């Protein structure tokens, strides 16, 4: 069997443009090109395409995915590897679901949230591509080296520190504390210090861009607004005040 580029794109939930890009970078070559110039793909191409989204979700770039797929000539072996990775991902997501349930229950019950529970299933390597695109490859590699150098206890302490800071921001917001007041700025200073722990320089532009991301990126917003709606905006405004005072205009 074979599929046209439109048929394969529709079945895979992607676009013909994406498949043409994969062809240009040597990741997914069509089995033949018709006289009409259309690309056609056989079963080998279909199986190869099946694996690309998974490997991308695991944080691999296109060049790395190409090397992985080129090293797996046996379709059966590739599918078994694919299945094993999917099962591992299912287990990781299951742990994250339980983590969120525990965090929600503790928030609603007024209990202390612990890092071990809140970050169960957390894997920082999933964000490699995004960090690289935003701040460069060296920024990711430096952060990755620093994270791997920590013991499990140090990693838990680092994450617990962030949880405590977020909770303190939430309490200050609920109490209507002014963002330019001493209490909120002291929390913001702790947040700044926490950001510098990985060794990357936290300059004014980085700090302000991060502040905006807390509001613009739904993942950040949801993370902070679980301490009370509007907490992400509150933190952003506090960071802007801090940046003006510490970094200058």
Mean pLDDT of the residues in the chain: 78
Residue 192 predicted with pLDDT over 90: yes
**Confidence bin at 230 (pLDDT 50/70/90):** very high
Q: How many CB atoms are closer than 10 A to CB 72?
A: 17
CATH 1.10.1660.10 domain range(s) in the chain = 2-55
Mean per-residue pLDDT for 100-123? Answer: 56
| Dist. CA 2–CA 12, nearest whole Å | 14
CATH 1.10.490.50 domain range(s) in the chain = 150-246
Name 16's Cβ contacts closer than 8 Å, sequence gap at least 6: 5, 6, 9
**Confidence bin at 118 (pLDDT 50/70/90):** very low
| Dist. CA 6–CA 17, nearest whole Å | 10
199-228 pLDDT tens trace: 667 888 888 888 988 888 777 788 788 888
To the nearest whole percent, how much of the chain has pLDDT over 90? 26
CATH architecture of 2-55: Orthogonal Bundle (1.10)
What is the fold, at CATH topology level, of the domain defined by 150-246? Globin-like (1.10.490)
Q: How many CB atoms are closer than 10 A to CB 34?
A: 10
User: What's the pLDDT at 117?
Assistant: 45
Mean per-residue pLDDT for 28-56? Answer: 87
Residue 93 predicted with pLDDT over 90: no
Residue 121 predicted with pLDDT over 60: no
In the chain, the DSSP E strands lie at 2-4, 32-33, 39-42
14 vs 99: which has the higher pLDDT: 14
Nearest to residue 55, comparing CAs of 125, 147, 140, 135? Answer: 125
At residue 201's C-alpha, the angle toward residues 158 and 64, to 5°, is: 80
**Confidence bin at 115 (pLDDT 50/70/90):** very low
| Dist. CA 249–CA 238, nearest whole Å | 15
User: What's the pLDDT at 64?
Assistant: 77
5-18 pLDDT tens trace: 999 988 888 889 88
143-184 pLDDT tens trace: 667 667 778 778 778 888 888 899 899 999 999 999 999 999
Stated pTM of the model: 0.49
């Amino acid at each position: 069997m074979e599929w046209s580029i439109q048929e394969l794109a529709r079945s895979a939930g992607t676009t013909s443009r994406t498949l043409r890009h994969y062809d240009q970078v040597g990741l997914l070559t069509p089995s033949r090109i018709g006289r009409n110039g259309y690309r056609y793909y056989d079963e080998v191409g279909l199986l190869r395409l099946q694996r690309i989204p998974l490997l991308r979700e695991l944080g691999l770039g296109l060049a790395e995915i190409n090397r992985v797929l080129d090293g797996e000539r046996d379709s059966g072996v590739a599918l078994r590897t694919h299945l094993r990775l999917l099962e591992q991902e299912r287990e990781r997501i299951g742990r994250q679901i339980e983590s969120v349930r525990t965090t929600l229950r503790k928030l609603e019950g007024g209990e202390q949230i612990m890092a071990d529970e809140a970050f169960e299933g957390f894997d920082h390597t999933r964000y490699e591509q995004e960090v690289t695109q935003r701040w460069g490859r060296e920024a990711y590699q430096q952060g990755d080296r620093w994270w791997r150098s920590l013991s499990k206890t140090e990693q838990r302490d680092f994450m617990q520190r962030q949880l405590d800071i977020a909770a303190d921001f939430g309490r200050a917001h609920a109490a209507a504390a002014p963002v330019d007041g001493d209490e909120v700025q002291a929390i913001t200073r702790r947040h700044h210090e926490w950001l510098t722990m990985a060794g990357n320089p936290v300059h004014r532009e980085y700090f302000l861009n991060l502040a905006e991301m807390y509001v613009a990126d739904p993942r950040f917003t949801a993370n902070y607004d679980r301490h009370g709606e509007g907490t992400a905006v509150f933190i952003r405004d506090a960071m802007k005040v801090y940046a003006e005072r510490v970094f200058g205009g």
